[in-house]
Chains A and B, each alone.
Chain A
Amino acid sequence: MTSPQLSNYLVSNRKRLALSQKEVAFLLGNKGGAKVSRYERFDREPSLETTLALEVIFQRSASELFGGLYQKIEQEVIERAKVLADQEKLNPRKRQIFTNIANKSLN
C-alpha cells in the first residue's frame, strides 16, 4: 500500500540539520517559531519569498521541499495543457509545447 507524497518535507530537513523551529524562524526573518510550526503541520503555505528562503536554508529545491504540493500543482497544469493542446486552431509549434507540458517532456 502506497501513501501520497506529504505536502511538505520541512520537518525532515530541519531535523536533518538539527535546527530548532525558532532558529529557522530567525533565518526566515520571523520572531517566533509559530509560523514554522504551522508550515510543518501543513496548516499554512509559505509565501514565495519564504519558500525561496527555505531553499537557501535547506539547500533543497522547492519541488523537493514541497513534494506533495508540487505534485498537486503539476497535475493541475498538465490538465490545463491538455485542454490547450486539444484546441483545433493552434499553430504546430504551440501544440508541441502544450503536448510536451502535458507529457512532462522537455520543451
Chain B
Amino acid sequence: MNTIHPKQFRILAIAPVTRGFGFAVLEGRDTLINWGVKTVTGNKNAKSLEKVEELIAHYQPGVLVLEDASAKGSLRHPRIRRLVPQIIKLAKAGKVNVSLFSREQVMKVLIPDGQGTKHDLAGIVAGQFPEQLGSKLPPKRKAWMRERYQMNIFDAVGLALAFRWTT
C-alpha cells in the first residue's frame, strides 16, 4: 500500500544574515525537504521580504521559525532587527504562525549542556541530516577566517529543529 501522508506539518525557518538569509524547510517528523542561502543586494530588507514571500507561497508552511533578533544578548545588525518584525508581519498577513527562538534557546535545545560554539551547533545539525548536510559542514573556522556562507543553512536548520524538538 502507498504510505504517502495526505497532509504534513511543514516548518519554514529563516535565519537572516548580512548577505541575505539562510532557509530550511522541514516536513513531517524529520524530513528536510529544502535548504539553502538566498543572497540579496541593494535594498536588502525589501529584497529579503520578496524572497521570503516566495518561499511562503511555494511551501505553504504551518509555521515560520525565526531568530529572535531583539532577544537579550543578540548581536544582530540593526538592519536585521528591523527586518525580523517585517517578516513576522508578512507571515501573519499570509495566516502563517510565527515562532521566535533566541540563539541561546536554540543552543539549549540542541546541545545537551547548552554550551558550545556555532560550529558545534552546525555539527549537531549535520549529524541529524548526514545525507543532506554532511558534506556541507565547513572545517572549523580560525579567528582570522571569514565565516563560510553555508553556515547560514545550519543556523536555519537549527531553528527548525529547535521548534520541532520543543513542540
Contact = CB atoms under 8 A, between A and B. Distances in A.
A72 to B, nearest CB: 10
Contacts of A5: 4-8
A3 B6 contact: no
B105 interface: no
Count class of interface residues, chain B: 20 to 34
- Between A15, A64, A74, the greatest number of chain B beta carbons within 10 A of the residue's beta carbon is seen for A15
Contact of B33 (A4, A6, A18, A71): A6
Nearest to B132: A16
A48 interface: no
Contact of B1 (A67, A70, A106): A106
Contacts of A38: none
B56 to A, nearest CB: 11
Contacts of B87: none
Given A1-B62, A15-B132, A18-B135, A71 B1 contact: no
Contacts of B60: 3-4
Contacts of A3: 7-10, 27, 59-62
B35 interface: yes
B86 interface: no
A71 B4 contact: yes
A84 B143 CA distance: 71
A63 interface: yes
Interface residues on A, range: 20 to 34
B1 A2 contact: no
Contacts of B61: 3
B4 A70 contact: yes
Interface in B30-54: 31-36
A63 B63 contact: no
A6 B59 contact: yes
B97 interface: yes
A23 B4 CA distance: 28
10 nearest CB pairs, A to B: A2-B7, A1-B62, A12-B33, A3-B10, A3-B60, A11-B34, A67-B4, A3-B62, A2-B9, A16-B132
24 contacts: A1-B63, A2-B7, A3-B9, A3-B60, A3-B62, A4-B7, A4-B60, A5-B4, A5-B5, A5-B6, A5-B7, A6-B33, A12-B31, A12-B33, A12-B132, A15-B34, A15-B36, A16-B131, A16-B132, A18-B135, A63-B4, A64-B4, A70-B2, A104-B2
